[in-house]
Amino acid sequence: MSHPKTSHVSVTAHPGWRLAAPALVLVLLIILWLFRETAVDMAGIWVRSDTYAHGMIVPPITLWLIWRVRADVAILVPRGSYLAVLLMAGAGFCWLLGQLAAVNALPQFALTAMLILAVPAVAGWQVARRIAFPLLFLFFAVPFGDFTQPKLMEWTAQATVAGLRLTGIPVYSEGQHLIIPSGSWAVVEACSGVRYLIASLTVGTLFAYLTYQSLRRRLLFVLFSIIVPIVANWGRAYMIVMLGHLSGNKLAVGVDHLIYGWVFFGLVILAMFWIGARWREDEVLPPVSHVAWPSTAGAGPAAALPITAVLGVLVAACWPFAQRQLDDYSSAEAVSSMAALGAIPGWQNSPQALHDWEPRFANTAARTRVVLEHDEHAVGLFIAYYRNQDQQHKLVSSTNVLVTNDDPVWAKVGSGMQQIAIGQQAVTIHTAQLRGPRGTRLLAWQWYWINGRWTTSDALAKAYTAWYRLTGQGDDSAVVVLFAEQGKPGIADAVLADFTDAAGPAIERALRQTASAR
């Protein structure tokens, strides 16, 4: 990595920094204290998750990057910015929306944005531009990227199947599950490569900033650092399966699986840096000349600093206060059970359990699971109900799924979308094919109910939840899952469609009655 070449000339800092520096530090500390729960949650993820452990070193790296250019920053005139204070207000509102919708990443991004915007709010945009990369690098501290896992897992499975077939090994694939003559394999979260992708993007972006001067080369290397870990993970997955196959499943299984993966990734990253360094551009900074500031220099800007600093603190403080007021206004008594479904025309309660499968939705306020039958066809109905949601008790979460990837009995082997009618409303729902013990097959339909609205979109579900809480209408929400055995093609779809026509009004009525009992 290149290092700036500067002359060893002493620099006299602008007098405005005598006020701006302590004011900026104080504002940053107050913001961290006001939003301490969000900051602690973010740090907790760094500690618990290997994928986001790099977040612990991002703040020190940011400080080091700023320290490298301290001489350039010191001669700049600090001047507060009211525009930056206004943008802090916008970031604070995003934090509030994230809290109301119980979205982990949005409050954390918003807190990081407020910390970044505090710099131009107190010290001015000229200072912020000089240290723009170090400030923006802070966003890498936010644990974000899990949403890419399903697609990365799908790509990894497809690439592994293609590699096995190219090398003449017969393979049967179903979703993320592969079967070869020597055994079966599954592409789970750890195989998605998301941790390699995030780590590569973080260090690759830092490497590009320190090694190149042109924006074009920097962007090309960042793109390179995204593509390389994805493709390398495909090769890693293929080699692990091949090692297991050729060794009779004695190598590359269990802990070896992860060790080989990280060793391979480390070699790939070293190769990526070695290639990137061949086009390095050393930074040559002009000599920093001594500046003698008059005693009255910066009087105007210095006078504005206390105002923007105080405004920044006040703007930041209003959002935790607003959240507490909205929580008090929109919270309701805990719900202990759901309202009864009542009679469903043509369908009766069934004595059969329809297997032991149940969707994995945790920390519910109430739930129900029933099996009903009509003309020897059985349909299972599962409803998980949520109220007074927070970061631990919420409907839309990456851990709330039909089947977990580590489930030893059930596996999700297919998915899709389908449009149905619930009452008079057309709704696009999620469909899933599930494989169980002894060749059992289930077809499942899933959608959300958010305070009277039907949707299958996670983003819309979060947006509706935030809006209803913002307007004081509460956050009552539920997931509805229907499931039936798959027999002949099309039979399960027809059975579920008939049941939806008959049970749709009863399901909606039960949900509304549960919500009204506040």
**Whether residue 99 is found in the same domain as residue 247:** no
Tokens 């592994």: give the residue.
Answer: 160
Of 142, 179, 184, nearest in space to 49 by CA: 142
Q: Give the whole-angstrom CA distance, residue 233 versus residue 197.
A: 9
**Whether residue 326 is found in the same domain as residue 262:** no
Q: Give the whole-angstrom CA distance, residue 367 versus residue 131.
A: 51
pLDDT exceeds cutoff 50 at 508: yes
**Whether residue 211 is found in the same domain as residue 253:** yes
Q: Give 423-455 pLDDT, tens digit per residue.
A: 777 888 999 999 888 888 999 999 999 998 999
Q: Which helix (H) or strand (E) holds 43?
A: helix 36-48
pLDDT for position 121: 95
Say if residue 343 is exposed, middle or buried (CB neighbours under 10 Å; 0-12, 13-18, 19+). exposed
pLDDT exceeds cutoff 90 at 134: yes
Q: Give the whole-angstrom CA distance, residue 257 versus residue 237.
A: 9
Tell me, what amino acid is at 482? L
Tell me, what amino acid is at 455? T
Is 124 within a domain? Answer: yes
Is 341 within a domain? Answer: no
Residue ranges making up the domain that contains 496: 348-516
CB atoms within 10 A of CB 241: 23
pLDDT for position 352: 76
The SS3 call for residue 393 is coil
Q: Give 367-395 pLDDT, tens digit per residue.
A: 999 999 988 889 999 999 999 888 888 99
**Whether residue 304 is found in the same domain as residue 255:** no
**Whether residue 173 is found in the same domain as residue 39:** no
**Whether residue 324 is found in the same domain as residue 376:** no
pLDDT for position 355: 81
**Rounded to whole angstroms, what are the CA distances from 227 to 55, 191, 232, 483?**
22, 16, 8, 39
Is 491 within a domain? Answer: yes
pLDDT for position 285: 54
| CA 27, 28, 30, 34 torsion-angle sign | positive
Is 340 within a domain? Answer: no
pLDDT exceeds cutoff 60 at 300: no
**Whether residue 405 is found in the same domain as residue 418:** yes
Q: Give the whole-angstrom CA distance, residue 406 versus residue 19.
A: 56
pLDDT exceeds cutoff 60 at 286: no
Q: Is the distance from CB of 121 to CB of 316 less than 8 angstroms?
A: no
pLDDT exceeds cutoff 60 at 299: no
**Whether residue 43 is found in the same domain as residue 179:** no
pLDDT for position 254: 56
126-138: average pLDDT:
95
Q: Give 54-100 pLDDT, tens digit per residue.
A: 999 999 999 999 999 998 899 998 989 999 999 999 999 999 999 99
Q: Give the whole-angstrom CA distance, residue 120 versus residue 87.
A: 10
Picking from 330, 361, 392, the residue at the C-terminal end of a domain is 330
Is 4 within a domain? Answer: no
Picking from 237, 252, 277, the residue at the C-terminal end of a domain is 277
pLDDT for position 258: 60
Our count of domains for the chain comes to 3
Q: Give 207-250 pLDDT, tens digit per residue.
A: 999 999 888 999 999 999 999 999 988 988 888 888 888 877 66
Is 339 within a domain? Answer: no
Is 220 within a domain? Answer: yes
**Whether residue 45 is found in the same domain as residue 135:** yes
Is 352 within a domain? Answer: yes
Q: Is the distance from CB of 230 to CB of 250 less than 8 angstroms?
A: no
Of 295, 311, 271, nearest in space to 117 by CA: 311
Percent of the chain's residues with pLDDT above 90: 48
Sequence-separated (6 or more) residues with CB below 8 Å from residue 162: none
CB atoms within 10 A of CB 321: 10
Q: Give the whole-angstrom CA distance, residue 315 versus residue 110.
A: 13
pLDDT exceeds cutoff 70 at 295: no
Q: What is the pTM assigned to this prediction?
A: 0.86
Say if residue 347 is exposed, middle or buried (CB neighbours under 10 Å; 0-12, 13-18, 19+). buried
Picking from 216, 247, 277, the residue at the C-terminal end of a domain is 277
- Average pLDDT, rounded, for the chain: 86
**Whether residue 198 is found in the same domain as residue 294:** no
Q: Is the distance from CB of 410 to CB of 401 less than 8 angstroms?
A: no
pLDDT for position 267: 83
Q: Give the whole-angstrom CA distance, residue 127 versus residue 122.
A: 10
Confidence of residue 303 (pLDDT cuts 50, 70, 90): low
Say if residue 68 is exposed, middle or buried (CB neighbours under 10 Å; 0-12, 13-18, 19+). middle
Confidence of residue 479 (pLDDT cuts 50, 70, 90): very high
**Whether residue 380 is found in the same domain as residue 391:** yes
**Whether residue 114 is found in the same domain as residue 138:** yes
Of 400, 420, 406, nearest in space to 479 by CA: 400
For 315-374, list the strands marked E by DSSP.
348-349, 366-374
